Chain A
Amino acid sequence: MAVLQCNALQLRYTGMMPEAPPLLSARGVTKYYEGIPGCRNVSFEVWPGEVLGIVGESGSGKTTVLNCISARLEPTSGTVEYATRHDGPADIYRMSEPARRLLMRTDWGFVHQNPREGLRMGVSAGANIGERLMAVGARHYGNIRQAATDWLDKVEMDTGRMDDLPFTFSGGMQQRLQIARNLVTAPRIVFMDEPTGGLDVSVQARLLDLLRGLVSDLGLAAVIVTHDLAVARLLSHRLLVMRRGEVVESGLTDQVLDDPQHPYSQLLVSSVIHP
């Protein structure tokens, strides 16, 4: 764990360096599904320690972009570059399969809207966290169990539930477990698809607070897809607004939400119902 924490501190430091290079660069990313465009000509950068939100209605291409930049869906055209720890920027679809798999297991995390997609439902909570550590070479049972305990605690779960299977947990707890599983390897960037989407509002607020704390304490970069502008405001530094597969506006989160320029962004912002 000491090594992992050290990495997090270094990241935080580089995150504050004005000249640090971007962690991830998408250029002209385009994806067609059998001739139907999923996303078109999407370009952006994510910097160390930065949280980028992607908003837009369902079908706007948000998840397609997220999958394209996280090596889960090869774009039809365009490139995605990731700043690897040792070899500098590398095209994630041109690197070797083992190199890409290693990135996905260590440097990256992916939090699904439905925690069942991101968890192994047949093994205990502790094993769900430990498994990712073992995949990067951890072998000492005591250390792995300790890391799992620490992470359950960090995501505000009862550590006494360590040996329970995920299906015995509520949706909010499953989501927290999925987050712990992703963060245990001290990733540098986490991709999240509607991380609070299926949860009750009370659970959602708690999870948001937790995510915000973790992202800033660990100096993580994150790309968060959400259709909820309030979630986007609380979590992200910058926003991309997507419509029909294209980015129609981007900027600092409060610029986009307080002073939207594009007709569609204006419509989105003005359509929010305030309780």
Chain B
Amino acid sequence: MTAAIEIGGLAKSFTLHNQGGVRLPVLAGFDLVVEPGECVALHGPSGIGKSTVLRCIYANYRADRGRILVRHRDGTVDMAATHPRRILAVRRETVGHVSQFLRAVPRVAAEDVVAETLRGRGADPEAATKAARRMLRRLNIPAALHRLAPATFSGGEQQRVNLARVFVADYPVLLLDEPTASLDRENRDVVFELIREAAGRGAAIVGIFHDAEVRDAVATRTVPLTAAREAA
């Protein structure tokens, strides 16, 4: 396959066992192909399953049915079917995910949170830290904060650390869940640049951009999501 991502027949529902066994179908037969260099915006009302698509690709959500092929190294990996160690390898090398919230070990400095992405890929620790500082500065996190743990940062600053720890590496696939949600205009423009640069070097990007202005600025294509109906 030449595509970076190829999703076919993806179905995902949630069964809430402790709330009367309610079953919520979210995706029923979702298809998507993303080529390198594309930035695809998933579009639709809140609760329709946009984040679910991203999480199924990242495989922290388990698909009920369907295949989620991701180009990894010289082959493809079906994220819906492969084993945990391979999923971790794909996440380390191929797929970067900017979630809506930063989750980091307490006490760990912002620059170490960001550098860990590169260290996990085998980079020299010193070079990783330098690259981390550069990316943090680019996202307007002042040097005085680099050695501090992000738990004390403002919401916008935390989100920028979250962005830095993904954009510090050249991931071939990027999943962006509202990457600019709590950012001011200046920082939003930095994120636009980062996304365009990533697409420019051939990254395949799937994102959720609530703001139409943001979507127009970065998306090369918009994919609407519609409500899942139970397949008969």
Residues A36-55 near B (CB distance < 8 A): 47, 50
> Is A266 touching B16 in the complex (CB atoms < 8 A)?
yes
Q: Is the CB of A252 within 8 A of B87?
A: yes
Q: Which of A194-214 contact B (CB under 8 A)?
A: 205-206, 208-209, 212
Which residues from chain A contact B105 at a C-beta distance below 8 Å? 205, 208-209, 212, 234
Closest-CB distance, A205 to chain B (whole angstroms): 4
Contacts of A238 in B (CB 8 A): 84
* Cβ contact within 8 Å between B62 and A259: yes
Asked whether A258 lies within 8 Å of B60 as measured between CB atoms, the reply is yes
Q: Say whether, besides A258-B55, A266-B16, A251 and B88 are in contact (CB < 8 Å).
A: no
Residues 6-65 (chain B) with a chain A CB within 8 angstroms: 14-18, 55, 59-62
B108 contacts the other chain (CB 8 A): yes
Taking a contact as CB atoms under 8 Å apart, the answer to whether B85 and A18 are in contact is: yes
* Chain A residues, Cβ within 8 Å of B107: 205-206, 209
CB atoms of B62 and A251 under 8 A apart: yes
B106 surroundings in chain A (CB, below 8 A) = 205, 208-209
Instruction: List chain A residues, Cβ under 8 A from B61.
Output: 255, 258-259
Q: Are B18 and A267 in contact (CB under 8 A)?
A: yes
Known: A209-B106, A263-B17. A18 touches B86 (CB 8 A): yes
Closest to A252 in B: B84
Give chain B residues whose Cβ lies under 8 Å from the Cβ of A255: 59-62
Write out, one digit per residue, whether chain A residues 252-273 have a CB within 8 A of any chain B CB (1) or not (0).
Answer: 1011001101110011001000
- A207 CB to closest chain B CB, in angstroms? 10
Residue of B nearest to A271 (CB): B18
A237 at the binding interface (Cβ < 8 Å) = yes
Instruction: Flag if A252 contacts B17 (CB, 8 Å).
Output: no
**Chain A at the B interface: SS class:** helix
In this complex, how many residues of chain A approach chain B with their Cβ under 8 Å: the count is 24
Report B125-176 residues with CB < 8 Å from chain A CB. Answer: none
Chain B residue numbers with a CB within 8 Å of A267 are 17-18
Question: Chain A nearest CB: distance from B120 CB in Å?
Answer: 8
Of all chain B residues, the one with the shortest Cβ separation from A201 is: B106
Q: Given A209-B105, A263-B18, are A254 and B60 also a contact pair (CB < 8 Å)?
A: yes
Residue in A closest to B60 when the chains form the complex, CB atoms: A254
Determine the residue in chain A with the shortest Cβ distance to B86.
Answer: A18
Closest to B55 in A: A258
Interface string of A109-122 (1 = CB under 8 A from B): 00000000000000
Residues of B within 8 Å of A252, CB to CB, are 59-60, 84, 87-88
Tell whether B89 is near chain A: CB-to-CB under 8 Å: yes
Question: B-facing mask of A96-138, CB < 8 A → 1, else 0?
Answer: 0000000000000000000000000000000000000000000
Taking the closest CB of chain B, its distance from the CB of A255, in whole angstroms, is: 6
Please name the residue on chain A nearest to B63 by beta carbon. Answer: A259
B223 CB, min distance to chain A CBs, angstroms: 22
Q: Which residues of A contact B88 (CB under 8 A)?
A: 237, 252
A175 to B61, CA, bound (A): 35
Point out the residues of chain A lying under 8 angstroms from B85, CB to CB.
18, 47, 50
What are the residues of chain B within 8 A of A50 when measuring CB–CB? 85
| Complex-state Cα separation, A254 to B60, whole angstroms | 5
CB distance from B56 to the nearest CB of A (A): 9
Interface positions of A from 7 to 66, Cβ below 8 Å from B: 18, 47, 50
Contact indicator per residue, chain A 224-242, by CB within 8 Å of chain B (1) or not (0) = 0000000001100110000
Complex interface: chain B residues within 8 A of A209 (CB): 105-108
Give the CA-CA distance A4 to B143 in the complex, in Å: 38
B119 smallest CB distance to A (angstroms): 8
Q: Which residues of A contact B86 (CB under 8 A)?
A: 18
- In the complex, what's the smallest C-beta–C-beta distance from A91 to chain B, in angstroms? 24
Query: How far is A163 from B105 in the complex, measured between Cα atoms in Å?
Result: 32
Name the residue of chain B whose CB is nearest to the CB of A234.
B105
Nearest chain B CB to A212 CB, angstrom units: 6
Q: Report B44 CB to chain A, min CB distance, Å.
A: 20
- Sampled A-B contacts (6; CB under 8 Å): A18-B85, A50-B85, A212-B105, A255-B62, A267-B17, A270-B18
Q: Which 7 pairs across A and B sit closest by C-beta, in order of nearness?
A: A263-B17, A254-B60, A205-B106, A259-B61, A258-B60, A252-B84, A205-B107
Which positions in B face A, CB cutoff 8 Å? Answer: 14-18, 55, 59-62, 84-89, 103, 105-108
**Other A-B pairs, 9, CB within 8 Å; known A208-B106, A251-B84:** A205-B105, A205-B106, A209-B107, A233-B103, A234-B105, A252-B84, A255-B59, A259-B14, A261-B15
